[in-house]
Amino acid sequence: MKVGVLALQGAFREHREVLDALGVDAVEVRAPEALGALDALILPGGESTTMSRLLDTSGLREPLGEHLADGLPVLGTCAGLILLAREVEDGRSDQRSFGTVDVTVRRNAYGRQRDSFEADLAVEGLCGGPFRGVFIRAPGIERVGPGVEILASHGDRAVFAREGVAYVTSFHPELSGDLRVHQLFLERGSLL
């Protein structure tokens, strides 16, 4: 099993470390050639506008879009959620998303950098107590389509959701020192 981490920008190293800790073969993805051998992919947090631009210049946009449309299991966290969303509010006019998950997200919905926070989240199907969610300039999930399952909420917003094999979080599960969200994603995809 090989799990890719999109490594154009952002918190890809931290995801890689989680995969290493889980004993999963991790590959940093920077070019289209890396996509063929993957069983799953993680789109990390960072800056969605920059990642959107780098997806175009790296030549990854089109082949990655095809793999996602073909059902490649994917986990998008924070900026990665923005890149997988059907609709993006408060985006820059030139940023584009794949539309894999039928949600509407609003960039920086929880405020600026100084408004970053942590919260205990009750995650559907996760044993062993709440998961500590780290929210950094987090996108807010404002609308959830009928085919989307909500796995965790904070206040009245979903913060962890799934459509088919595509999982999205508005928080950073790679920063909690807790492997369980990655584990859930990989186990549900029969990758662990």
- What the block records as the tokens of 167 is 């999982």
Q: Does 136 bind ligand GLN (CB under 6 A)?
A: yes
Cβ proximity to ligand GLN: between 99 and 191 the closer is 99
- Using the rule CB under 6 A, give the single segment among 42-50, 66-74, 145-153, 155-163 that binds ligand GLN: 42-50
In the complex, least distance from residue 182 CB atom to ligand GLN, rounded to whole angstroms: 16
Q: Which residues are known catalytic residues?
A: 78, 172, 174
Q: How far apart are CA 146 and CA 70, in angstroms?
A: 21
Cβ proximity to ligand GLN: between 39 and 50 the closer is 50
Q: Are 8 and 79 in contact (CB under 8 A)?
A: no
Binding ligand GLN by CB under 6 A: which of 16, 106, 137, 182?
137
| Cβ-defined contacts of 61-67 (< 8 Å, 24+) | 61/96, 63/32, 63/35, 64/6, 64/32, 64/35, 64/98, 65/98, 67/35, 67/38, 67/41
Residue type, 82: I
Cβ proximity to ligand GLN: between 107 and 182 the closer is 107
In the complex, least distance from residue 60 CB atom to ligand GLN, rounded to whole angstroms: 17
Cβ proximity to ligand GLN: between 12 and 185 the closer is 12
Q: Does 134 bind ligand GLN (CB under 6 A)?
A: no
Binding ligand GLN by CB under 6 A: which of 5, 19, 35, 45?
45
Q: Does 46 bind ligand GLN (CB under 6 A)?
A: yes
- What the block records as the tokens of 96 is 């584009």
Q: Which of 187, 119, 177, 127 shows the shortest CA–CA distance to 153?
A: 119
Q: Is 64 helix (H, G, I), strand (E, B) or coil?
A: helix
In the complex, least distance from residue 134 CB atom to ligand GLN, rounded to whole angstroms: 9
In the complex, least distance from residue 173 CB atom to ligand GLN, rounded to whole angstroms: 12
Q: How far apart are CA 149 and CA 42, in angstroms?
A: 19
**Contact set with ligand GLN (CB under 6 A):** 45-48, 78-79, 82, 107-108, 136-137
